[in-house]
């Protein structure tokens, strides 16, 4: 994919509609992308799942051997340039592999951690010798990598880290002192991306090898889930790191840490989506076989609604995930061999909001789907013999690492506010335009998904009106109003998901026809309708809490009239038809 003009600016979905623009969808995957997808799926089925019991008992040598096998198949090399022994594939392929391995539990975490946040810092910010030495080994699986950012007193506030780096008298080595927590892959890693403050002030990244003097690992953490991934603390006691192993520039470690985490969040969303598909498949299989009251659970209307809800949510996660993948590829194409770190930083940051949404929406989709799938298993879902039990435990971590979902939510409105404050008068204009859309009560009556187009426009308008009210009330103190910011974030997440679903479905109709796109149309109609209702509730809460009485009453009145135009029936039947299609396929398939 060649980067030409900037057809989509990061975060612009909040301001303007993308209805006339095409997005990348799963239906657009190339033969090469489908090939690596199949390779990853076969690896999961033939190598990882048969060894699940052993690796869950923390046979970490087996985990490392599986990673080595993955390296032999090229599954560790997708994001490493060919120049350095990798495959040099696009960010879409990166997401494809993440999704395909998403049902791999702790192994998936180990694999993703290695290929993303443990390898990409060197790929994008390393010096030539660092790339030439480390990347071929990381791509092949000869070296396994880990990422060391979190400290006992520095979690979400990573830049408050206390680990220090002091140059020795000879000027040959930095001496690192401090501790790091929750290091994924620690037990069997060869390289660690470690962040420390040079002279106690300048936040900086280093490439640390396991055999450098002064490293000590703590015992394995006893975790709720993802047991087959190693997690320990790291203690650095005058750890000797050669000067040439400094990564990037002194004092600019935060550019590496925070920007690479954007790609980590994107990749996490892909893995969660793959896990959700697996959980839905388990629910379908179990409810088809389990009988109660002389019929299978699959025949009950309540079961069908749960299956339809799960499929609808996955359709949205899939749509926004692949949309974002193409944006990232367009932004970063060719930069994995560039030495222009400022440009790399800028491009990585551009889609920070979209990557945060991938992480939040994907992890909460997985949690929701796994929870409902376990519920459909009844008591058996609580028994370790059934895979859904492990999936339930494994899924919970995803809302915590790569930045908690709360932190990721807060990033979205603050990025938007920063931009509109810079452009004087923009928010007032956006508010005025949004109010006109809310006041409009005539509804298009012809054409597929015209009602859904209006619904997406309404969600955007509710978001902009709410954001305007909050910023007008609190000004530069808005950063402290986290309750309001989280609601605005949920409006933005719902908007991005709804618009992604709409754009994907419209594209399907245009490229095939209504009949072939029928399931997608039903999924879109159900999902967007429910997102609109959720947006209405969020906006009403914000109006009640933050608007003055006169403005609140006015907004309530026009919103009530607006919502009357969306009254529609048939949602229950649509969900039953969605469930029937999913059961026919015996898995998520659209």
Q: Is position 445 within any domain?
A: yes
Tokens coding 364: 């909460």
My answer on whether 387 and 487 are in the same domain is: no
d(CA 406, CA 360): 9
Residues sharing a CB contact under 8 Å with residue 472, sequence separation 6 or more, in sequence order: none
Tokens coding 506: 């419209």
My answer on whether 230 and 281 are in the same domain is: no
Pairing between strand 164-167 and 145-148?
unpaired
Residue from 131, 147, 39 nearest 85 by CA: 131
My answer on whether 417 and 536 are in the same domain is: yes
Q: Is position 585 within any domain?
A: no
My answer on whether 455 and 477 are in the same domain is: yes
Asked if 257 and 205 count as a contact pair (C-beta separation under 8 A), the reply is yes
My answer on whether 500 and 434 are in the same domain is: yes
Q: Where among 348, 371, 399 does a domain terminate?
A: 399
My answer on whether 423 and 539 are in the same domain is: yes
My answer on whether 266 and 363 are in the same domain is: yes
- pLDDT score for 160: 86
Q: Is position 442 within any domain?
A: yes
Task: Classify the C-alpha dihedral 363-365-366-371 as positive or negative.
Answer: positive
Query: Could you read off the pLDDT tens digit of each residue along the chain, which spans 590 residues?
Result: 444 445 689 999 999 998 888 899 999 999 999 999 999 999 999 999 999 999 999 999 999 999 999 999 999 999 999 999 999 999 999 999 999 999 999 999 999 999 999 999 999 999 999 999 999 999 999 999 999 999 998 777 777 889 999 999 999 999 999 999 999 999 999 999 999 999 999 999 999 999 999 999 999 999 999 999 999 999 999 999 999 999 999 999 999 998 999 999 999 999 999 999 999 999 999 999 998 888 999 999 999 999 999 999 999 999 999 999 999 999 999 999 998 999 999 999 999 999 999 999 999 999 999 999 999 999 999 999 999 999 999 999 999 999 999 999 999 999 999 999 988 889 899 999 999 999 988 877 678 999 999 999 999 999 999 999 999 999 999 999 999 999 999 999 999 999 999 999 999 999 999 999 999 999 999 999 999 999 999 999 999 999 999 999 999 999 999 998 887 779 999 999 999 999 999 999 99
Q: What is the DSSP letter of 441?
A: -
Tokens coding 367: 């949690």
- pLDDT score for 4: 40
Residue from 514, 426, 414, 428 nearest 469 by CA: 428
Question: How many C-beta atoms surround the C-beta of residue 566 within 10 A?
Answer: 17
Q: Is position 214 within any domain?
A: yes
Q: Where among 399, 424, 445 does a domain terminate?
A: 399
Q: Is position 584 within any domain?
A: no
Q: What is the DSSP letter of 400?
A: T
- pLDDT score for 2: 42
| Buried b / exposed e along 427-462 (16+ C-beta atoms within 10 A) | beebbeebbebbebeeeeeeebbebbbbbbbbbbbb
Helices (H), strands (E): how many in the chain?
19, 10
Q: Is position 6 within any domain?
A: no
The end-to-end CA distance of the chain, in Å, is 25
Domain with 96 in it:
12-144
- CATH number, domain of 55, equals 1.10.540.10
Asked if 227 and 184 count as a contact pair (C-beta separation under 8 A), the reply is no
Residue from 583, 462, 584, 572 nearest 526 by CA: 572
Please give the model's pTM, rounded to 2 decimal places.
0.96
My answer on whether 116 and 86 are in the same domain is: yes
My answer on whether 47 and 119 are in the same domain is: yes
My answer on whether 358 and 453 are in the same domain is: no
Q: How far is Cα of residue 186 from the mean position of the Cα atoms in its chain?
A: 23
Pairing between strand 191-198 and 202-209?
antiparallel
Domain count, the chain: 4
- CATH number, domain of 379, equals 1.20.140.10
525 is an active site residue: no
d(CA 400, CA 387): 22
Residue from 375, 361, 388 nearest 279 by CA: 388
CA distances from 11 to 16, 23, 34, 59, 481 (A): 10, 15, 29, 43, 21
- pLDDT score for 7: 62
* SS3 at position 76: coil
Q: Is position 98 within any domain?
A: yes
Tokens coding 196: 């420390």
Residue 314: φ, ψ to 5°: -65, -40
Q: Is position 336 within any domain?
A: yes
Tokens coding 543: 């109006």
My answer on whether 517 and 434 are in the same domain is: yes
| Buried b / exposed e along 351-364 (16+ C-beta atoms within 10 A) | bbbbbbbbbbbbbb
Among the listed residues 330, 402, 481, 499, the single catalytic one is 402
- pLDDT score for 465: 97
Q: Where among 115, 144, 173 does a domain terminate?
A: 144
d(CA 89, CA 222): 36
CA distances from 280 to 319, 329, 363, 585 (A): 17, 29, 15, 12
Q: Which stretch of DSSP H or E encloses residue 180?
A: strand 173-184
- CATH number, domain of 186, equals 2.40.110.10
Angle at 135 between CA 131 and CA 138, to 5 degrees: 155
My answer on whether 41 and 188 are in the same domain is: no
């Amino acid at each position: 994919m060649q980067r030409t003009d900037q057809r989509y600016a990061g975060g612009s979905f909040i301001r303007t509609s993308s209805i006339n623009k095409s997005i990348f969808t799963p239906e657009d995957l190339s033969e090469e992308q489908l090939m690596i997808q199949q390779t990853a799926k076969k690896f999961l089925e033939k190598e990882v799942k048969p060894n699940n019991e052993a690796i869950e008992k923390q046979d970490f040598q087996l985990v490392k051997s599986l990673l080595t096998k993955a390296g032999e198949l090229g599954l560790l090399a997708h994001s490493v340039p060919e120049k350095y022994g990798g495959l040099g594939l696009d960010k879409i392929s990166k997401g494809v592999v993440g999704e395909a391995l998403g049902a791999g539990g702790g192994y998936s975490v180990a694999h993703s951690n290695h290929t993303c946040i443990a390898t990409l810092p060197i790929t994008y910010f390393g010096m030539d010798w660092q790339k030439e030495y480390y990347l071929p080994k990381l791509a092949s699986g000869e070296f396994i990598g880990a990422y060391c950012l979190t400290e006992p007193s520095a979690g979400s506030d990573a830049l408050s880290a206390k680990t220090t780096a002091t140059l020795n008298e000879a000027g040959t080595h930095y001496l690192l002192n401090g501790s790091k927590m929750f290091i994924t892959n620690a037990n069997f890693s060869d390289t660690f991306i470690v962040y420390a403050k040079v002279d106690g002030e300048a936040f900086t990244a280093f490439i640390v090898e396991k055999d450098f003097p002064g490293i000590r690992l703590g015992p394995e953490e006893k975790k709720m889930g993802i047991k087959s991934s190693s997690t320990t603390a790291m203690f650095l006691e005058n750890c000797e790191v050669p000067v040439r192993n400094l990564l990037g520039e002194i004092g600019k470690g935060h550019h590496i840490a925070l920007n690479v985490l954007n790609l980590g969040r994107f990749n996490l969303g892909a893995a969660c989506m793959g896990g959700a598909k697996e959980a839905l498949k388990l629910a379908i299989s179990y409810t088809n076989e389990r009988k109660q009251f002389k019929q299978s659970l699959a025949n009950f209307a309540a079961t069908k609604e749960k299956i339809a809800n799960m499929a609808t949510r996955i359709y949205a996660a899939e749509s926004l995930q692949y949309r974002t993948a193409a944006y990232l590829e367009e932004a970063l194409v060719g930069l994995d061999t560039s030495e222009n770190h400022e440009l790399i930083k800028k491009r990585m940051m551009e889609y920070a909001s979209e990557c945060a949404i991938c992480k939040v929406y994907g992890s909460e989709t997985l949690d929701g789907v796994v929870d409902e799938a376990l519920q459909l298993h009844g008591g058996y879902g609580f028994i370790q013999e059934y895979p859904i039990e492990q999936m339930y435990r494994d899924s919970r971590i995803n809302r915590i690492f790569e930045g908690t979902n709360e932190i990721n939510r807060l990033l979205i409105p603050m990025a938007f506010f920063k931009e509109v404050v810079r452009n004087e008068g923009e928010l007032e204009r956006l508010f005025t335009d949004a109010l006109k859309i809310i006041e409009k009560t005539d509804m298009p009556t012809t054409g597929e998904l015209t009602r859904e187009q209006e619904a997406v426009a309404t969600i955007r308008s509710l978001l902009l009106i709410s954001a305007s009210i909050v910023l007008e009330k609190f000004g530069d103190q808005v950063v402290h109003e986290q309750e309001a910011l989280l609601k605005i974030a949920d409006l933005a997440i719902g908007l991005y998901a709804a618009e992604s679903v709409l754009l994907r479905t419209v594209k399907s109709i245009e490229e095939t026809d209504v009949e072939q796109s029928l399931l997608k149309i039903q999924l879109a109609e159900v999902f967007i309708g429910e997102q609109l209702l959720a947006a209405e509730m969020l906006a009403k809460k914000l109006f009640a809490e933050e608007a003055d009485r006169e403005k609140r009453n006015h907004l309530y009145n026009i919103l009530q009239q607006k919502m009357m135009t969306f009254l529609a029936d048939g949602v229950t039947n649509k969900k039953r038809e969605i469930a029937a299609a999913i059961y026919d396929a015996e898995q998520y398939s659209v």
